[in-house]
Amino acid sequence: MLDEGTEFPMDSDGVISKLQTIIMPQLREANEEVGVMVHIDDCFCDDCEAERGSLTFATTILVEVTNNRDTMIARLLPGEARSLGIALIKQSMELYELREQGCYDNVK
């Protein structure tokens, strides 16, 4: 199903953008800091090299989303990261426009 006026499909949960990644995301024990972190790849330390595996340094973008229990880690190739960025910008602009039109004035 397509959301009116967009090229992004919308599923029954209201998800309007899906990103297919080559490298599967991982779920780990929570980091110390809760929030969203984006790393332009990793460093040359032994831990980062072990995490990267066979991937060449400086070829991925690492996205970490941490709550109080878990950290979801997604390693994205540059094209995948660009697609995610475009989807985030598009959807945030649509939300901004809806707020400007007063669509959420009655939400408490």
Please indicate, yes or no, whether the overall pTM of this predicted structure exceeds 0.75. no
Residue 58 sits in the same domain as residue 31: yes
**23 neighbors 62 (Cβ within 8 angstroms):** no
The reply to whether 19 falls in a domain is: no
For residue 82, give its domain range.
78-108
Burial class (CB in 10 A: 0-12, 13-18, 19+), 17: middle
**92 neighbors 76 (Cβ within 8 angstroms):** no
Number of independent structural domains in the chain: 2
What pLDDT is attached to residue 56? 83
Give the distance from CA 55 to its chain's centroid: 20
- Per-position pLDDT tens, the chain of length 108: 334 454 545 555 666 567 778 788 889 899 888 999 998 887 888 888 888 888 888 888 989 999 999 999 999 999 999 999 998 899 889 888 888 888 776 655
**87 neighbors 17 (Cβ within 8 angstroms):** yes
The reply to whether 45 falls in a domain is: yes
